[in-house]
A and B are shown apart, each in its own frame.
Chain A
Amino acid sequence: MTTLGDLARLIRSKNAGPFTLTFDVMFDDDATYQRVLKSRVLTKARFAQMYKVLEEDVLFFEHDAAKAIKISIPRPYPQGAREDGDAYGGQQHAPLVALEMPDERADEAGSC
């Protein structure tokens, strides 16, 4: 089974200021970037469900020049708050690494 982690050049999370968390999913080449976009494994709705936020609070970007998908959400806890366990927000991307990709043949069959 192929995961998003197998395909990406880098998956990371990080603070964008103390109140926002941002996720970058970056690819080496255009084919892989397009494959992941087409697979719809990572969408605004899917992300909202995974990170327990309202879909309207999710910013979702496709950055073709960087061959990257970028997502930003309100931080689950403000940085440095009592419940916050990740000051830099750098370890919140982990569930994305394990996201399972449909295999490529199934993809092609689906598009016929």
Chain B
Amino acid sequence: MTEVRVLSASGQIGSGFLESSLERGIALKPHVIACDGGSTDAGPAHLGSGKPHFSREGTKRDLRLMLCGGVKLGVPVIVGSCGFGGGDAGVDWMRDIALEIAREEGLSFNLALVRSEQDKGYLKRRYREGRITPLNPAPPISEEVIDRSAHIVGMMGHEPIAAAIDKGAQVVLAGRASDTALFSTVPLMMGAGAGPAWHAAKILECGTACVVQRKRPDSIMAWIREDHFDVEPMDMDVRCSAQSVASHTLYENADPFLITEPDGTLDSHGARYEALNDRAVRVYGSQFRKAERVTIKLEGAEMAGYQAIIIGGVREPFIIRQLDSWLDAMREKFRARVQEMFGGRVGPDDYDIHVRVYGRDGVMGKLEPETNIGHEIALLFTITTPEEATTDAIAKTFAHFALHYPIPEWRGLISGIAFPMAPSHVNRGPVYRFNLNHIVTPEDPLEMFRTEFLEV
């Protein structure tokens, strides 16, 4: 009977795990150690800028323990969506960390870098061929959208990772990859059932997110066989229940029963969850329906300008009772100041001042059902323009302009905003927006990904 043991180090490399938990997993002789390294979850900045989300120190600590364990056992180590956004910069960042660890620990291994950043010419060709289609919902696409993207990645399935391991890779550092593919690749290569392999992978990819009471990010293991899998957290103080494992298919998915992967769909409608003991759960009945064609999801980020923020509080009841008209009027009147400052070079459409009101609807915006407003509120202004120097100039000037903007009740100069910091504005550099939620139908599942081998 086939049994493939898969050790998930944690939900995200760099977020940590207990060394004792990973050690326990390694003692159980996994056939692969894997960890996800990225997401769109934290917003478009990571893909757009290429900068990682987690610290280098935290990432290096986690990767060191994974590499040492994998080399000792002689099994593959797989890290996906390197650097969080999964662009080429993220793969390079993770490669440098891996090389540094190898030098420090005296490790040697065959390293594969599987890149998923997309060539714009390739994408425009596929777009013209009608082979890029929107998911629902999706922003509009055009060749201009592709051209103005800072970075576009394709989300690889298990195929490019399996190809790298087939060619002898012991460590695979992948660009943007389906989180589940990192954990399903080796079970699929070794002949485990596709339904259990993909379902187990979905449970493993978030580390201990599927336990009853999560204490911290930590390691978890699955035993994947032909028609079922078992899952158990590696910290003996943490447990899974049938319900906690079943619940995990809900997490971050629009549909809890159907989860789409590049080469098919995991269908867990028929899944049955049974407690093996008070810490481990067995899952039967998951199906994987192979798609006719492989589809690769695209994620893109484009620059939305340079941004500064201003944080301020208001306690004055006369201002709070006319808050919207006060905020609208000050921005309206500010247009003339911008006109005179820049001598007409910066027009009203060349900058954006947005304000969010905490204490009223700062969190939910138009969906907020409560109409109450508190005795004090916080204002978060965002100032965005296409040029860094313009943003800085407008933010500085606007903070002062807003501070003293009058209300009819008072005669004389007022200071209507309490700034908690000086200077009152903070430049936060370039900001990005997601601009794609589309799929490509390639000729074959490898053509969008580039693999490079290094002897370490």
Binding site for B on A (CB under 8 A): 14-20, 22, 24, 26, 50-52, 59, 61, 63, 65-68, 70, 72, 74-88, 91-92, 94-95
Contacts and interface: CB of A to CB of B under 8 A. Distances in A.
B354 A52 contact: no
A48 B367 CA distance: 11
Contact of A66 (B40, B41, B44, B249): B249
Given A63-B256, A65-B243, A92 B250 contact: no
Nearest to A83: B365
Would you list the 4 A-B pairs with minimal beta carbon distance, nearest first?
A: A65-B246, A72-B254, A66-B247, A66-B246
A52 B433 contact: no
Given A72-B254, A80-B432, A67 B137 contact: no
25 contacts: A15-B40, A15-B252, A16-B253, A17-B254, A18-B44, A18-B299, A19-B135, A19-B138, A19-B139, A22-B252, A22-B254, A24-B247, A63-B247, A65-B242, A65-B243, A76-B365, A78-B139, A80-B43, A80-B44, A85-B363, A85-B364, A85-B365, A87-B42, A88-B41, A92-B363
B246 A17 contact: no
A79 B43 CA distance: 6
A52 B254 contact: no
Nearest to A26: B247
Interface in B20-42: 40-42
Given A80-B44, A88-B41, A95-B369, A18 B362 contact: no
A61 B255 contact: yes
B103 interface: no
Given A17-B40, A87-B43, A52 B366 contact: yes
Contact of B246 (A19, A63, A74): A63
Nearest to A28: B243
A54 to B, nearest CB: 12
Q: How large is the interface on B (under 10, 10 to 19, 20 to 34, 35 or more residues)?
A: 35 or more
A85 B434 contact: no
Contact of A14 (B136, B139, B251, B256): B251
A85 B356 CA distance: 8
A70 B250 contact: yes
Contact of A22 (B138, B253, B364, B437): B253
Q: Is the interface of A mostly helix, strand, loop or mixed?
A: loop
Interface string B369-404: 100000000000010100000000000000000000
B352 interface: yes
B419 interface: no
Contact of B384 (A82, A83, A92): A82
Contacts of A92: 363-364, 367
Given A20-B254, A72-B254, A79 B366 contact: no
Nearest to A91: B363
Residue from the set A17, A51, A77, A84 with the largest chain B CB neighbour count within 10 Å: A17
B257 to A, nearest CB: 7
B145 to A, nearest CB: 14
A76 B256 contact: no
A88 B251 CA distance: 12
Contacts of A17: 40, 254, 437
Contacts of B138: 19
A77 B437 contact: no
A77 B433 CA distance: 11
B303 interface: no
Nearest to B361: A85
A75 B136 CA distance: 11
B273 interface: yes
Contacts of A81: 433
Contacts of B234: none
A83 B354 contact: yes
Given A72-B255, A88-B42, A92-B364, A67 B434 contact: no
Nearest to A23: B250
A68 B249 CA distance: 11
B200 interface: no
B271 interface: yes
Contacts of B433: 78, 80-81
